[in-house]
A and B are shown apart, each in its own frame.
Chain A
Amino acid sequence: MNSQTTISLIIFVPVLLALTLPLAGKISLRLRNILALGLCLVPLLCSLSLIPAALSGKTVTLGRELGLGINFIFTADALAVFVACVSSFISTLIVVYSFGYISHYHNQNEYYSMVVLFLGGMMGLVFAGNLIFLYLFWEITAITSWRLIGFFRDKYVVERADKAFLVTVFGALLMLLGFIRLFQETGSFDLLVIKEVVKTHPISNLTIALILAGILSKSATLPFHTWLPDAGVAPSPVTALLHAAVLVKIGVYVFARIFVATIPLPINWQVIVPVIAGISALVSAGAALIETDLKRIIAYSTISQIGFIFLGFSFGNSIGVAGALLYILMHGLAKAGLFLCAGIVEQNTKTKDITKLGGLIKTMPVTAMAFLLCSFSVMGIPPFGGFFATFMVMTGAVTSGHIIISMVFLVGAFMTIMYLFRTFNMVFLGEPKAALVKEGSFVMVATVAVFAALSLLGGILIWWPDALAQAATLQMLGTIR
């Protein structure tokens, strides 16, 4: 099987076959579940099979000229392969968890087809080598996330889903304007062509601002962030998918694709972006310290961590960019674990209010330990993976000479430790405030344990993910700067 076929399998298997899941569900639930898992495994395994080529620095392209300056191009470079592996891997585990979590609810057929379509949209976006296709897949994820957030059909849930959709699509339309301006300025939607053109023609600030608005709205960064905590009304696997694996990572991925790999960020934006990210990281960390809803706390934590990823990407130096890529991986693993633990707690205790919880470690030891280990990774404590990612991101900022900005993020990191411990202590330790409930179902607990273990292994075996991140960095920056 050549690499071109692999790429088309990664993208089109989930996108096209997702719609067959409801049919399969009519036949048998088991068949549908197996098919859903299979549709996630195909992109996962195919992305993994691209790693050797990516490590050696090769770029695989699949393309056809369509005319009108629009060409049908998918490229698999190390960056795309890295993000595709991370997203599809985490999504697959989340689908496994869903088998336990979602089995009590209505609309399961829609749920699985939307999740797979969501993943397919992400895959298409990751490999898209052309801004028009990027936008197309971007909107597929917007529509699917709207359906997924509104999974429970209560009125306020649907309103929250609408809010998420409106904010992200508003951003996406601004981004589309930005893409059109980019076309006017460079004469192409093809990222490789643009890369050549911008070497001689700098891009106007307005274009950058418009594209950035789209990115920030998708990645839930201040001032477009408030839909993300509100989206906590979705089922926990969905929130995990949105926060950890797919949705918010789309924004940072596109940032890396456009502003690191294609158009090097101009000097003034190298200050503006981290400042926005820093304020976003601080504000959301502060909100997480006050908030009492378990899922909203973790959601604010995601907003805060996304700030760190932007910090790593903004300066375009190799250690920061590689750190940001590792951050995507480590944060994805740990945050998915946190959300899924929250899902177990929420489903069994029927509450998300941490002031009404306590002492759950006695009856939910595995969930509690998984939550704690994932928290350590998010805090950046060795030997967990988050430590290396945090160190590299912070070092990237410091070595670029942005000391004050890195001090702001340092305060953000302090607050991360505080709010995660506050949450853990209130939920799992202390005196029980309500009747203690039993541990979650085996498949759910096993999934969170896997996420916790991977957060730990990711740190101990840091050189494996790091090798791919380094290859991606090398390709994006051209040379090690």
Chain B
Amino acid sequence: MKPSVLLLPILIPAIFGALMFILPRKARHTVAFLVAGINLALAIALFRNNLIYSFPWFAGKIEFALRLYQFSGFIMLSAAFFAFLIVIYSLNFMKGKNLQNQFYAYILLCIAMANGAVLADNLLLLLFFWEGLLLILFGFIAIGRPGAFKTATKAFIIVGISDLCMMIGIALTWMQAGTLTISKINLALTPMAGFAFIMLMIGAISKAGSMPFHSWIPDAADDAPLPFMAFLPASLEKLLGIYFLTRISLDMFKLAIGSWISILLMAIGAITIILAVMMALVQKDYKRLLSYHAISQVGYMILGIGTCVPVGIVGGLFHMINNALYKSGLFLTGGAVEKQTGTTDLHSLGGLRFKMPITCACFLITAASISGMPPFNGFFSKELIYDAALSRGMIFYLAAVVGSFFTAASFLKLGHAAFFGKERNELKAVKEAPLSLLVPMIVIALTCVIFGIFNYLPLNHFIQPVLGARLEGHSYAGFHVNIVLTLITILVLAGAFIHHIFMAKLKGEGLKAADDIRYAPVLSQTYDLAQKRFFDPYEIGLKGMNVFSRILWAADKGIDWVYNSFVPGVSYGVSKGIRRMHTGYYPVYISWALVGMFAVLYFLRK
């Protein structure tokens, strides 16, 4: 294979994505489908190849360098897989919606940018594609329901700011490593390199949607078109964010166990798991609930990679692909429910299991996976992460397990409220979703099962080769997880189940099963404040920025006052004084002239 073939996965979707704005209405579905298919075929063909392609780009020393190897091939393949499924799903889902040409254009451009970011072997090139996704993010959300531009702006500002941090990180890395070529960078963790790492990490975890860069995701769940949620926040952005986090932690910086960065990463992971899942628990909307899980699950991946032990990194990466699967699957079931019933508000849903049996089955499988129930894929990746977390500190393990408990509880609540419980009268006429919505869901649900039962397939072919020699010959495939930890997991899940059944009986309906936690003392007030966005870092940032700007504004006005009032005032005052001297009397003028002459003579003496 010629190395220049690496340009194809970037150019083909980019060109057709740009064309999509002007293509006729009829052609765009076919084109989108074909391009997504070609991209998938390309990704499959390229997988497992090792290619390097580069040519001088600009500024004399910056290269347009692409590198395909195991890891980038894997991420590209996964992204292409999800893109293809989402396009199939959208063919029906987006029917009759406005601005479809923009929608498909963004999907294709998104594929191009993602492929570019993954293949890039030059940090600036990576940033070019990475930050380019911002535009697509903005457009994607803005074409949602009216008023969605506010959320789009929020997303743009949050992600844009972290991308700028990444830009500084890249500059710092360049300064220290002397090169922008990713595969040549290998920095020891000096304080300055640590600073560079933090700045790069901000870009990575913000793309993945970790706290504190998360708060646009739940809003986007309300406002953006649903396939967007299943595509970007649920799968693609996780893949990219975790990919880059892994690259910087494993390749570019020598991260050691016990380094402060490792602790920091684990802390971010643990806090994200707990806080986001607590918020998910009390949501009353299908999509919004899922969106908080999209945040919470990132915590597991960051925790896993942050442990810096091979089992944790394998677990984190495995969790990344698993999460992309079940989370986009869950969003797709949410989309099917929205399409068929017209709502995602859990108050007005219920008893859909008979009306939409296949959707319900897909939901059950993916929900079991995300809750970490054996033998689905989520169980195995979470167990690996538990194992690693426990080896680094009990507190991290506890956070992860408690997160699991609440995850299970919130999905029991969601499933109960949407698919089980009493059937509602207004939902009598609901039918099962059409085939093109079902196929992607079924494919994803099946993959969840396969990746669970036959977990050696993804582990041996996709994930473990990424770590290569670091594994020292270990393999984490099959069922060889810690028995004690497994028992604890099962107990926790059973606890969540019993808690749910008990509380649902007590309160009379599934939706209220988590109310004991929602209205617990202290938590209740905290939740009230959180629902009012009191803790939203974005809102806090905006308020702070407003105060800061007012101060600067006052400074600016102060300077302007000097020009508008002070200087004219002084000049008028001085000229008033001087005018008084012009009395018209010759003696006065003559004495001025004499004084001036003496002054000149005084200076000219010697």
Contacts and interface: CB of A to CB of B under 8 A. Distances in A.
B157 interface: yes
B127 A289 contact: no
Interface string A388-420: 101110110111010100110010011101100
A376 B137 CA distance: 13
B134 A381 contact: yes
Contact of A319 (B59, B150, B153, B552): B59
Q: How large is the interface on B (under 10, 10 to 19, 20 to 34, 35 or more residues)?
A: 35 or more
A289 B550 CA distance: 9
A417 B156 contact: yes
Given A398-B168, A406-B168, A392 B563 contact: no
A407 B545 contact: no
B165 A410 contact: yes
Contacts of A390: 167
A421 B157 contact: yes
Contacts, number: 123
A440 B564 CA distance: 35
Nearest to B165: A410
Contact of A406 (B57, B149, B157, B171): B171
| Chain B contact surface mostly | helix
A430 B555 CA distance: 31
A17 interface: no
A383 interface: yes
Contacts of A282: 552
Contacts of A413: 164
A163 B58 CA distance: 43
A318 to B, nearest CB: 8
Contacts of B174: 395, 398-399
A167 B171 contact: no
Interface string B172-187: 1011000000000000
B149 A425 contact: yes
B546 interface: yes
B160 A462 contact: no
Given A381-B131, A406-B168, A286 B161 contact: no
Interface in B55-75: 57-60
A382 interface: yes
B553 A414 contact: no
Interface string B137-154: 000000000010110010
Interface in A149-179: 163, 167
A378 to B, nearest CB: 12
Interface string A280-315: 001111110111000000000000000000000000
Interface stretch (A47-55, A68-76, A220-228, A252-260): A220-228
Contacts of A193: none
B551 interface: yes
| Chain A contact surface mostly | helix
Nearest to A459: B128
Contacts of A223: 559, 562
Contacts of A87: none
Given A392-B59, A395-B171, A421 B156 contact: yes
Interface in B246-274: none
Contacts of A383: 128, 132
Interface string B541-561: 010011011111101100110
A226 B564 CA distance: 9
B559 A222 contact: yes
B164 A410 contact: yes
A163 B551 CA distance: 25
Contact of A410 (B58, B168, B560): B168
A139 interface: no
A414 B556 contact: no
B589 to A, nearest CB: 28
Of listed B545, B550, B564, residue having the most chain A CB within 10 A: B545
Given A379-B160, A463-B58, A470-B60, A415 B545 contact: yes
B58 A286 contact: no
A110 interface: no
Given A289-B546, A410-B168, A429-B149, A226 B60 contact: no
Given A282-B552, A290-B549, A418-B157, A226 B172 contact: no
B89 to A, nearest CB: 28
A226 B562 CA distance: 10
A391 B548 contact: no
A284 B134 contact: no
Nearest to B548: A286
A414 B161 contact: yes
B153 A381 contact: no
Interface string A339-379: 00000000000000000000000000000000000001001
Interface in B177-201: 195
Contacts of B60: 470, 480
A322 interface: yes
Contacts of B160: 379, 381, 417
A423 to B, nearest CB: 11
A398 B175 contact: yes
A227 B560 CA distance: 8
A226 B551 CA distance: 16
Contacts of B551: 286
Contact of A284 (B127, B131, B171, B556): B556
A387 interface: yes
A277 B127 CA distance: 26
B99 interface: no
Contact of B168 (A285, A394, A417): A394
Contacts of B167: 390-391, 394
B153 A425 contact: yes
A314 B174 CA distance: 20
A289 B556 contact: no
A189 B422 CA distance: 91
A376 B546 contact: no
Contact of B58 (A376, A388, A480): A388
B124 interface: yes
A382 B131 contact: yes
B171 A283 contact: no
Nearest to B563: A226
A286 B546 CA distance: 8
A466 interface: yes
Interface string A203-228: 00000000000000000001101110
A319 B170 CA distance: 14
A398 B545 contact: no
B440 to A, nearest CB: 30
A317 to B, nearest CB: 11
A385 to B, nearest CB: 11
Contact of A391 (B124, B172, B195, B555): B124
A392 B58 CA distance: 11
B127 A382 contact: yes
A290 B550 CA distance: 7
B135 interface: yes
Given A394-B168, A413-B164, A387 B555 contact: no
A123 to B, nearest CB: 28
A417 B538 CA distance: 14
B63 to A, nearest CB: 12
B207 to A, nearest CB: 14
A289 to B, nearest CB: 4
Contact of A398 (B59, B171, B552, B556): B171
Contacts of A387: 128, 131
Given A286-B556, A289-B545, A462-B58, A227 B563 contact: yes
Contacts of A167: 563
Nearest to B161: A414
A398 B169 CA distance: 10
16 contacts: A226-B560, A283-B552, A289-B546, A289-B549, A381-B131, A381-B132, A381-B160, A391-B124, A391-B171, A395-B170, A398-B174, A399-B171, A406-B171, A414-B161, A415-B545, A480-B60
The 4 closest A-B pairs by CB, nearest first: A286-B552, A398-B171, A286-B549, A289-B549
Given A286-B556, A391-B127, 5 more contacts: A227-B563, A287-B553, A391-B124, A392-B59, A467-B58
